[in-house]
Structure 1
Amino acid sequence: MTSSQESGTGLREKPGKVTPAMQQFYEAKRQYPDCIIFFRMGDFYETFCEDAEICAREMEITLTSRGRMPDGQDIPLAGIPYHALDGYLSRMISRGYKVAICEQIEDPKKAKGIVKRDVVRVVTPGTVIDAALLPGEGARYLMAAVPDKKRKRIGIAFLDISTGDFQISEVPAEGHGEELRAEAVRFRPAECIVPKGVEQEIERKLNRIIPLISPQDNSIFDLQGAEDLLCRQFSIQSLDSLGCCDIPAAITAAGAALTYAQKTQFDPLSHIRSLSRNLQSEYLVLDAVTLRNLEVVSNIRDRTEEGTLVKTIDMTQTPMGRRLLRRWITAPLKSVEAINQRLDAVEFFTHETILRQDLRQLLYRYADLERIAGRISYGNASPRDLVTLSDALTVASSVRGLFDSLADIPESIRISVREISDLQTLVTLIGQAIVDEPPLLIRKGGVIRDGYHEELDRLRLISRDGRQWVADLEQQEKERTGIKSLKIKYNAVFGFFIEITKANLSSVPDDYERRQTTANGERFTIPALREVESQIATADERLLSLEEELYTALLDTLREHVSALQETAHSMARIDLFAGLAESALKFRYVRPHLTDEPVLLVREGRHPVVEASLETGFVPNDAEMSASGEQILIITGANMAGKSTYMRSVALIIVMAQMGSFVPAGYAKVGLVDRIFTRVGAFDDLASGQSTFMVEMLELATIMNHATDQSLVILDEIGRGTSTLDGYCIARSVLEHLHGKKSKGPRTLFATHFHELVGVEEDLKRVRNCHFAVRETDKDVVFLRKLIPGATDRSYGIHVASLAGVPSPVIIRAEDLMKKVMRGEESPGGGVKRYTQMILLDAPATHSAVTPEPDPIREELDSIDVNSLTPLQALSLLADLKSRAKDLT
């Protein structure tokens, strides 16, 4: 989706005379021109004009009209029931639209003239906080991007208002925005806000990554304003304590993101209490291309999590743990000490089987405490949220108790357990205030428990006793009048009344006072009923009002503990993730990697974690031994389908897993820290940008050549295959030489190729080694052994793979025949095709093949010379003579 998703911005010019309600609609549209206006009209939310046409199309509802304009045109109208708002709103947001909710802000019964209406909330794809609108448990980020042209940087901020997670960083602005794309892929924001005027520039860099780019007024992208806002938000004197004063563009982006979120929610969002800085120097960088090629968090086929690394190793039990896993897996660490602290915690849980099982049982279906805390702060937590919160806090207390008797606990776990706050007072408060099974919404009542508030209990008693009195009165009147069908009913207009059918009107007593005639009979009242009616009606009205007041006060009390709730949620997420990684390590037979600062890699019996988990048969493991100063580059040749790509990806994924703090799929692994993983795998067109497969390949290759360091891992699969054989070979050879360089070390590189001529590079470059995947070839078949062995091969077995793919037999037979002829030298691969380098524009002179050309005396003399018998002096003399004679002939 592009910037400024169609949202009714082409609204017809406001006519001169419209109804008061339509005047309110046009005023709302003027204030929020890029939003669909959901306009509350009684029991419906209605949309008008272009908004109605869009909603009818997107929500698949009926498009009708509401009166006419003064010029005679119909006013398009599409409406939805107010109680169905969440479902329709979710559909609009998922399609990238912004929706402004325009509510009735006064009681229609007390209104003088038209009911006042105003926009009370704006919902956009990046600012969703309602539980009903949040799909799944993944984070929902709003992104802000601010170019700083003077410093040639782009400041970026990511804010999840549902949890309060707030992160910032800066990336280079030059080039094709690889770092910006990498950050966007990591966080997967639903919306990105940018200053007006730069949306196209940012959109080019983030092409097809973010659903909605929203240009905003430049006034919210102000550094000083951002600093003031953030200081107020976090209750600090200056931003020095956040350690981000050296990245002004990122601070500006953070201020813009927070301003936008507050304006859309009409709330200060006080649960956003911290700001963290992402330093690329602290993380293994996985750019957008690498995340895609390695299928770390989304697969290449349909961009879901099926068949990805995160899906394979995710054995967490809580939503917070799953979100934390995604953050760790997309930003692995670069500190041996920090990684080992995580590995210590994982290893601890692999040994403590009973503890791990008890913990995971407690965490099973644990509540999303982060989001509940966010809704409490925002004020829209439901009664069921509070009951769930109480259960979650009870579980948190039990989790803390599991570790009370343990002395030797890794530091990471010890800190996490210590930060689980003791909030049993909140459990008690919620238990006293809220019924065990409350309704979803407070407005219907029945939420506050009996005994919590004296006045509420009194009103309930009046309401219950009054209704019982009415029931008793109904029975008495039936007996007094003899009318068995007599009913005492209630509605909002007439209150309580006695309903008598036409057939029984002759039996109505004289003291009955007629109130209304209906099609089926008459409605009456009596003095005693009128008296009780006023008491019950007053009690019911006050009852609902008081219950809402008490619930709001309860939320206010809970709001004071939001910070502690968030801290507890973060601690539970870490403990959950440590236990989950231990569970996956035991299930898949992973081992603890050994980390070092040296640029080396030694893997024994390494496996691809995703492929292994999907195979019913066993996975064939392979070794990997590389060093920046030793066997730096491995050239991998061999058959298609033999396992080259799987092997290279497995090496990269083992490094990702090791540096994120996970055990790895291997028999043994020593991993030298990697600063960045580069991949050039497969063929992808970017037709939307007018880029061919080969251009995409070269752009990705340029990124690798310009940014790879001695600590990087480079994976190159079939470089140069997108162009002619000669050009491709020359590019591939040059790339190898560049990566090897003249230094004593370089980036660890896996280079798979079908250019078998490249295997000779091993003799010229000392840190290059050839290897290939073994194949067993029989008379009738080829068996791929999936085993990497030293040395090179010159066979690709492409025809065999074509046969396995189901290519028709005549094509396979013909290909095999041509292959045999080429190998015998009977036919060249080029087929003797004539080549033309330019068009022939002029006719050549006519020639006659029957005419024999006259002999050339100089050519005849040259043919007769014995060059081996000439002295140097004779050769020079002869050359001078021939040159003179040739000149005379011209």
Structure 2
Amino acid sequence: MPQPTLGAFFKQGPAKRGRVPMDGTAREGAMPAPETRKKAKKTTAPRSRATSSAALSGAAAPSYTPLEQQILALKEAHPDVLLLVEVGYKMKMVGEDAHTASRILNIACFSERNLATAMIPVPRLAVHVKRLVAHGLKVGVCRQTETRALKAATEHANRPFARELTGLYTSSTWIDDIDAVQALEEVGAEQIVLAVAECAEVGIAALDVATGAITYDAFRDDAMRTELETRLAHLVPQELLLPTHLSEDTRRAVRAYTAVHPNVRIEHVADCDHISTRLGELYSGTALASVLAYAPATQAAFVYLVQYLGAFQLTSAFATCANYCAFTDRASMRLNGHTLANLELLRTREGKVQGTLFAHLDHCKTPMGKRRLRAWLRRPLLQANRIAERLDAVDCLRVRRAAVLHTIPSMLVRIPDLARGLSRIAYGLAAPTELATVLLSLHRITHTFPDVHSPLDAHTASPVVDRAIADLGAARECVARFLDRISIPDARNNDKVGMFPTASENVLACRDMLAEDEAQFVAHLEAARTTLHRPKLQYTSVSGVENLIEVRASDVPRTPADWVRISSTKLVVRFHTPAIVRLSKLREQHRELLAEGGKVMYADFLREVAQAYAAMHCVVEAVALLDALSSLAAVASLPGYVRPTVQDGAPHLALTQFRHPVSETRTAAYVPNDIALGGAAPHAVLLTGANMGGKSSTARAIALVVILAQMGSFVPCADAQLTPHDAIMTRMGAHDELVSGKSTFMVEAEETAHILKTATPKTMVLLDEFGRGTSTFDGTALAYAVLESFLAQQAPPRVLFITHYMALGALVDAYPKTLCAMHLAVKLEGPEHVVFLHKLVDGLAQGSLGMYVALLAGLPRELVACARQRAASMDRRRVAAYSALVHALVHTPLQAPPLLRAMTSLAACRGQCHDA
């Protein structure tokens, strides 16, 4: 993104008197103080095209106030950031930033002296920053780092407040507090920034900012960048870090990803040559040793990621080795990006969560459980014993025979996003009220099972559940210790001083000074009573102004001349005496010192809590596990769901009365089906049928049942027997890639080529109507060749091959033990009506029945009748052409000279067939 010059960035406007808030802090932005006004007139902004043009034309360069100079300097230091600068009770944006914020936030943009300006109230800062980063912007917050009273006591009283960048945010690095309300689609969703690097391999490193989870990988990839696309589809990063030197293949994959996810933010980072040296500067201890063991491409990705997040102060997560997880896990099924999309596991084709398999499975009560369930769905298990363990746990929670299991549902209620809360504590961002919420929630959880000290104490008949219940008490002692040191009511009020009953020496000294201030106020009140001859006189406070002395209007002439009039009504006039003015300033300084001391105490306490991250994280992981298992237990209790039998052995799949888990919820008359692949049954099915007959839905249902079984869920079947599948690969749906300049057929051919290269005997392959997008003969021939390439393998994968090319039925005769033909039955009622029975039966279909479906779609009857006549004519020509071909073969002698004439005759017949 090119950076504008200052002259282009800051839109000049006519001089305009600034608005001054009641506390006077914004007066620095309206007019410089008298002693600095002369100096301000001599100072101009750094030269730019705009100021140079003004000089050439004879126009005077703009004269900036000290505050404007300060904002210009901040913007020059951070040119690619939309800056919000704290000025009094407002956050101010200037120049092009003001115009951008005005458009996005729907707020006013106006000229204030030399700069276009937009402002928002400080209390609404979080709301507006979240809206800005959602539009892909990098937003910086510049805070006043001086307080009014302490600044007034220094020699710099007439200068602008010191300001500096205190917060930097993007869509992936903005962390809501745990009480923030989120949309349904966002609950439990990841907030990931991902770095890509290339050496001999492609490397990635990603941080889920909300939870602190770190994912890494290194892999060799093809020109299509299928492996990279798969990782992007699984992780769904909101921000991508790309080095300067990146191959065109990788850039093309990134462009394809951002075309589908237009709100993804791209950040370009500088290349790094000395990776190991830089890692030594960024890491230490066991974390450094772990990262140095990774592949060079992964190390480079970590350098880019940690360097970038350093500006956001979000690097503390990298110090905890427990947060690291390799993306490539040999113990999980491979589901590439195409499969995730084609089976609508996490998002529908419209980009919604509702209607997906995840939405159907999601009965979780906590955000942590939702994340865990989503992770299980992305990576189903591969080992039969681990699948059985998880199924045992689900069944255990379903029947709840053990007494302790009846407590889990109530424990999971009203638990906030503890993973996000722990991350905010680790980053030093948690407010006292958030800290109190996290500690109280952990205290309740850790005391749910006070008598369980080890897995042997749980007695639930499931080792997985036993371990999780035992882990709930991992942080019991440390959480209780932290709670003993703070006052919850004061923490709820974000009182960083009052929340600590035992204060530091600095805080105690400040409290003593404030007590002395109050004593002086009391002593001065006695003097005021004597002056006014009012022995019962008391201080009053109005509109936040303290220690006011109210005098009846009739008694005002008797007040001393040096008393300062503050406010009045018809009956009374309120004053501050010179002593009260002096004492108020002194008290305000002591209060600000006390507040600073409270901040230091709270920051120290927060760091101490963060040191217990591992124990508290163990509790949160146990909650996530139990919540996700409980969600699957709720699914297992649905009518028609059974426990699958997953065993090692020769690859096979046998489903009885299987159903599509999502589609069956939308209809009251869902038709179940049976399927058998592998073992004694053929390994492949040639699936034909009418348009709209349900072929694709049936194939998806089979794949979804396999995924459910291997993620440890009960399945919508009467019976399910299978061996673990190492992958499910799909080629379904028709779409092009205009960004890459690829046609629909090119995309399908590339995806099919990848499947042919990577499928194993343990893989399930779904190919839906491969061969469309080109001529009928080419499509049929390619589909025939692709299917035969699977059938000819000594140990083929399980294949569901959906097609309208009936010529492929010849392969059933050629490979009777490996391939069988099935179709979805229909019932024809006259020339215009068809009933889809959705029943899977043996044999090839009668045809595609496109004319019937065309009528259902609303095409005019006359048009369809014309099409029927044309189809009949084409069929007659085709029969005649093939008859001529057979005649030529029968009547051509096999001698060498006539053979050439026979080949010529065959070529002519082929041309007739092609024309037909």
User: In which range does the TM-score fall when normalised by the shorter chain?
Assistant: 0.7 to 0.9
Asked if the contact 1:591–1:665 (Cα under 8 Å) also holds between the matched residues in 2, the reply is yes
> Gaps (5+ residues) in structure 2?
11-44, 49-62, 882-889, 900-916
**Partner residue, 1:90:** 130
Contact 2:688 2:802 in 1 (8 A): yes
**Structure 1's 565 and 176: CA in aligned 2 closer, same or farther, altered over 3 A?**
same
Instruction: Select the residue among 110, 116, 121 that pairs with 1:81.
Output: 121
Q: How does 1:392-411 map to 2 (within 5 A)?
A: 392-401=441-450, 406-407=458-459, 409-411=461-463
Deviations 1:815-835 (A, max 9, x none): 246436745889769999xxx
Aligned to 2:141: 101
Q: Which residue of 2 aligns with 1:123?
A: 169
Whole-angstrom distance in 1 between the partners of 2:741 and 2:206: 30
Matches within 5 A, 1:58-457: 58-68=104-114, 75-109=115-149, 110=151, 112=156, 113-131=159-177, 136-148=187-199, 151=200, 153-198=201-246, 202-206=250-254, 207-209=256-258, 211-219=264-272, 222-225=274-277, 227-228=279-280, 231-232=283-284, 235=286, 238-239=289-290, 245=293, 247-265=295-313, 268-269=316-317, 272-274=320-322, 275-301=324-350, 303-352=351-400, 355-401=404-450, 406-407=458-459, 409-420=461-472, 421-427=474-480, 429-430=482-483, 433-436=486-489, 438-439=491-492, 441-442=494-495, 447=499, 455=508
Distance 1:824 1:119, change over 3 A: closer
Give the partner amino acid of 1:33.
P
Match of 1:34 in 2: 80
Equivalent in the alignment of 2:771: 720
Deviates more, 1:312-321 or 1:532-541: 532-541
Find the counterpart in structure 1 of residue 781 from structure 2: 730
Task: Within 5 Å, give how 1:662-741 maps onto structure 2.
Answer: 662-741=713-792
Stretch of structure 1 that moved more, 419-428 or 644-653: 419-428
Assess, with a 3 A threshold, how the Cα gap between structure 1 residues 51 and 538 changes in structure 2: closer, same or farther: closer
- SS at 2:641's partner residue? coil
Residue pair 2:541, 2:548 contacting (<8 A) in 1 also: yes
Q: How far is 1:189 from its partner? A: 0.8
Q: In the superposition, relative to structure 1, how do residues 822 and 408 fare at CA in structure 2: closer, same or farther (>3 Å)?
A: closer
Determine helix, strand or coil for the equivalent of 2:195: strand
Query: Shift of residue 363 of structure 1?
Result: 0.4
1:564 counterpart letter in structure 2 = A
Superposed, 1:773-792 pairs within 5 Å as: 773-779=824-830, 781-792=833-844
SS in 2 for 1:641: coil
Distance 2:433 2:666 in 1: 39
Distance 2:210 2:806 in 1: 54
Q: Distance in 2 between matches of 1:465 and 1:118?
A: 34
Counterpart pick for 1:648 among 699, 713, 720: 699
**Shift of the alpha carbon at 1:456?**
10
Map of 1:488 onto structure 2 = 540
Deviations 1:667-722 (A, max 9, x none): 22222222222111121232233333222222222222232222221111111222
Of residues 292-301 and 589-598 in structure 1, the stretch that sits farther from structure 2 once superposed is: 589-598
CA displacement, residues 492-537 of structure 1 (integer Å, 9 cap, x when unaligned): 8x86332457xx2446545685213768685434699679868865
Secondary structure of 2:642's aligned partner:
coil
Give the conservation status (yes or no) of the 8 Å contact 2:693–2:824. Answer: yes
For residues 431-467 of structure 1, the C-alpha deviation after alignment (integer angstroms, 9 at most, x for no partner) is 6523348556447x76557999995997799599989
1:765 maps to 815
Aligned to 1:815: 864
How big is the shift at 1:185? Answer: 1.1
Closer, same or farther in 2 for the Cα pair 1:357/1:409, shift >3 Å?
same
Question: What is the root-mean-square deviation of aligned Cα atoms in Å?
Answer: 4.2
- Between the aligned partners of 2:113 and 2:746, the Cα distance in structure 1 is 56
Is the partner of 2:608 in helix, strand or coil? helix
TM-score normalised by the chain length of structure 2: 0.79
- Which residue matches 1:795? 847
Q: One-letter code of the match for 1:612?
A: E
CA offset digits 1:703-750 (Å, max 9, x no partner): 222322222211111112222322221221121112222x32212111
SS at match of 1:87: helix
Aligned to 1:72: none
SS of 1:137's equivalent in the other structure is coil
Within 2, Cα distance between the matches of 1:402 and 1:664? 35
CA 1:875–1:682 in structure 2 vs 1: closer, same or farther (change >3 Å)? Answer: closer
Give the number of equivalent residue pairs.
Answer: 815
Work out whether 1:755 is the aligned partner of 2:801: no
**Secondary structure in 1 aligned to 2:312?**
helix
AA partner of residue 216 (structure 2): I
Q: Name the structure 1 match of 2:907.
A: none
- Equivalent position SS for 2:708: helix
SS at match of 2:770: coil
Residues 4-49 of structure 1, C-alpha deviations (whole Å, 9 max, x = no match): 8999997479427754444443443344332222222222222222
Higher Cα Rg, which structure = 1
Partners of 2:452 and 2:470 within 8 A in 1: no
Q: Name which of structure 1's ranges 557-566 and 15-24 shifts more when overlaid on structure 2.
A: 15-24
On the 8 A contact 2:564/2:578 being kept in 1, the answer is: no
Partners of 2:674 and 2:374 lie apart in 1 by 28
Code of the residue aligned with 2:47 in structure 1: it is P
Which amino acid is 1:430 matched to?
L
Checking the alignment, whether the CA contact within 8 Å between 2:279 and 2:288 is kept in structure 1 is no
Whole-angstrom distance in 2 between the partners of 1:792 and 1:875: 39
Post-superposition shift, 1:625? 0.8
Q: Which amino acid aligns with 1:384?
A: T
SS of 2:257's equivalent in the other structure is coil
> In 2 relative to 1, CA 772–872 (structure 1 residues): closer, same or farther, beyond 3 Å?
closer
Q: Which amino acid aligns with 2:834?
A: V
Relative distance call for 1:119 and 1:246 in structure 2 (3 A) is closer
Matching residue's letter, 1:777: L
Cα distance between partner residues in 1 of 2:187 and 2:502: 35
Structure-2 change in CA distance of 1:528 and 1:516 (3 Å): closer
Alignment partners' CA distance in 2, 1:831 and 1:78: 79
Deviation at 1:162, TM superposition (A): 2.5
Counterparts of 1:292 and 1:264, CA distance in 2 = 33
- Are the counterparts in 2 of residues 147 and 173 from structure 1 also a CA contact under 8 Å? no
Mapped pair 1:627 → 2:678: yes
Give the distance between the partners of 2:680 and 2:773, measured in 1 at CA: 31
Deviation of 1:90 after TM superposition, in Å, equals 0.5
Letter in 2 for 1:689: S
For the residues of structure 1 that align with 2:765 and 2:417, how far apart are their CA atoms?
Answer: 39
Question: Post-superposition shift, 1:773?
Answer: 0.9
1:412 Cα deviation after fit: 2.2
Residues 1:401 and 1:457: Cα distance change in structure 2 (over 3 Å): farther
Q: Deviations over 1:128-181 (max 9, x none)?
A: 234259853312111010011xx2x21011111332101111132431111101
CA distance in 1, matches of 2:898, 2:548: 135
Cα deviation, residue 67, structure 1: 2.7
Q: Distance in 2 between matches of 1:585 and 1:634?
A: 29
Q: Who is 1:609 aligned against?
A: 661
Aligned to 1:845: none
Q: Which runs of 5+ in 1 are unaligned?
A: 69-74, 833-866, 877-890
Alpha-carbon spacing, 1:589–1:136, altered in 2? closer, same or farther (3 Å): same
Report the CA distance shift for 1:872/1:328 in structure 2 as closer, same or farther (over 3 A): closer
